[in-house]
């Protein structure tokens, strides 16, 4: 007895259902095999993604294709499978990254040498001071004002990576000495930018926190060397670094043995001209979600202008960041660097008043 069209339709649909399950089974088998391949690649120390291999597979599929799907359709379908496999192995790789947050509670808390000041413990810390150390008097005046407002970490660069080689390059070691003396007087920790791994032994005598500037964020040799240092490291985001690149830079330090890394968002380069950089406040919240490391917002380099310091500081505090970096100079108009963005002492006091009522996220 011949089948009715209704019965025939039902039978064919059952066949499709069964083929779907077979395809699913094959996809699962394929994914497991890809995971095995990924393991072998890791043992061999390779990158997993191999574009040549992808081209070979597509070629072989095109040769084997007998229709009714066009070669283009087959290739598009398989490319989707390749993409899913790559995403799967990348996700597994990310789970192994040390700076990645594993649980919502996980946080890195960094304690200063005074044993009391902490970054990343839920408090809002300030890292303030002049862009560069220029003289003892300048650091002394700045530090006295910072101390009045309870600032515990003073900044001041002794080595300046300037855009032009003809601009002020910093006082060098004598600058670090000044910063150390002034900080000791006021019971503060010192941070200053380190330019090269060869400076590590010298910096050990003066700095409590080593800092890597934006221009050095991807200097992996320096980052690895700082992984061996027993002091916290400030890592500033590169001028045009993605958040992923930023976290990988931190990973260099942490995977080399130093877990105490503080991330600083200092604005990124965009097409905007009315601010020196663009403060990526969304990036700050993403970093806090993705990583357990503390995140500080540098409102000075993000803006390049002092007249928007207050709103940026309010936004930073409300964003869930662990603190603020801000440049403060006793006489900004004559500063040797970043004159347009450094706050005068009265402006610094006004900023502190302004943020006192802002609730942290």
Residue 170 tokens read as 């910093």
What angle is formed at CA 209 by the lines to CA 96 and CA 301, rounded to 5 degrees? Answer: 90
Size of the site for Mn ion (CB under 5 A): 2
- Is 180 near ligand PEP (CB under 6 A)? no
Site for ligand PEP in 133-172 (CB under 6 A): 157
| Residue nearest to ligand PEP as judged by C-beta position | 213
Q: In the chain, what are the helix, strand and coil shares in percent, each to the nearest 5?
A: 50, 15, 35
Q: Which helix (H) or strand (E) holds 129?
A: strand 125-129
Q: Does 131 bind Mn ion (CB under 5 A)?
A: yes
Of 254 and 296, nearer to ligand PEP (C-beta) is 296
How far is residue 11's CA from residue 17's CA, in Å, rounded to a whole number?
A: 10
Q: How many other CB atoms are found less than 10 A from the CB of residue 316? A: 29
| Residue 132 or 225 with smaller CB distance to Mn ion | 132
Rounded to the nearest whole angstrom, what is the least distance from the CB of residue 338 to Mn ion in the complex?
A: 4
Position 276 contacts ligand PEP (CB under 6 A): no
266 binds, among ligand PEP, Mn ion, none (CB under 5 to 8 A by kind): ligand PEP
CA distances from 103 to 80, 255, 292, 322 (A): 31, 19, 9, 18
Q: Is 151 in the site for Mn ion (CB under 5 A)?
A: no
Q: Counting contacts by CB under 6 A, is residue 283 touching ligand PEP?
A: no
Tell me the CB-side half-sphere exposure of residue 81, using CA atoms within 13 A: 20
Contact flag: residue 266 with ligand PEP (CB under 6 A): yes
Tokens read off for 8:
């025939």
* Residue 220 CA, distance from chain mean position: 14
Residues numbered 212-241 forming contacts with ligand PEP, rule: CB under 6 A: 213-215, 236
338 binds Mn ion (CB under 5 A): yes
CB atoms within 10 A of CB 168: 14
Nearer to Mn ion, 99 or 241 (CB): 241
Q: Applying CB under 5 A, which part among 6-14, 252-260, 308-316, 334-342 lies near Mn ion?
A: 334-342
What is d(CA 171, CA 179) in angstroms, rounded to the nearest whole number? 11
The window from 11-19, 33-41, 98-106, 207-215 that contacts ligand PEP (CB under 6 A) reads: 207-215
Among 127, 128, 131, 343, contact with ligand PEP (rule: CB under 6 A): 131
* 359 φ, ψ (degrees, to nearest 5): -80, 140
Contacting residues toward ligand PEP, per CB under 6 A: 131, 157, 213-215, 236, 266, 301
Contacting residues toward Mn ion, per CB under 5 A: 131, 338
């Amino acid at each position: 007895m011949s089948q009715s069209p209704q019965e025939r339709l039902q039978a064919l649909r059952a066949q499709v259902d069964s083929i779907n399950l077979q395809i699913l089974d094959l996809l699962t088998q394929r994914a497991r095999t890809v995971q095995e391949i990924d393991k072998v690649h890791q043992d061999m120390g390779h990158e997993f993604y191999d574009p040549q291999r992808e081209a070979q597979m597509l070629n072989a599929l095109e040769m084997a294709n007998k229709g009714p799907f066009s070669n283009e359709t087959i290739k598009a379908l398989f490319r989707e499978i390749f993409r899913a496999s790559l995403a799967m192995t990348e996700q597994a790789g990310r789970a192994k990254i040390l700076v990645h947050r594993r649980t919502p509670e996980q946080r890195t808390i960094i304690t200063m040498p005074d044993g009391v000041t902490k970054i990343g413990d839920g408090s809002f810390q300030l890292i303030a001071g002049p862009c560069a150390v220029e003289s003892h008097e300048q650091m002394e005046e700045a530090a006295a004002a910072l101390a009045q407002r309870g600032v515990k970490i003073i900044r001041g660069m002794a080595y300046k990576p300037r855009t032009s080689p003809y601009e002020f390059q910093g006082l060098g070691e004598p600058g670090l000495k000044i910063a150390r003396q002034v900080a000791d007087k006021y019971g503060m920790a010192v941070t200053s930018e380190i330019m090269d791994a060869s400076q590590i032994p010298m910096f050990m005598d003066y700095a409590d926190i080593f800092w890597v500037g934006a221009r050095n964020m991807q200097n992996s040799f320096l980052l690895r060397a700082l992984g061996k240092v027993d002091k916290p490291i400030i890592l500033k985001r590169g001028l045009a670094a993605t958040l992923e690149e930023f976290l990988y830079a931190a990973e260099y330090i942490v995977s080399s043995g130093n877990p105490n890394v503080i991330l600083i968002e200092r604005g990124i380069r965009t097409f905007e001209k009315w601010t020196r950089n663009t403060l990526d406040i969304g990036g700050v919240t993403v970093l806090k979600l993705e990583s357990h490391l503390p995140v500080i917002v540098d409102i000075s380099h993000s803006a390049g202008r002092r007249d928007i310091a207050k709103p940026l500081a309010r936004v930073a505090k409300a964003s869930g960041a662990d603190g603020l970096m801000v440049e403060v100079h006793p006489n900004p108009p004559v500063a040797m660097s970043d004159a347009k963005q450094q706050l005068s002492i009265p402006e610094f006091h006004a900023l502190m008043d302004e943020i006192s009522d802002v609730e942290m996220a």
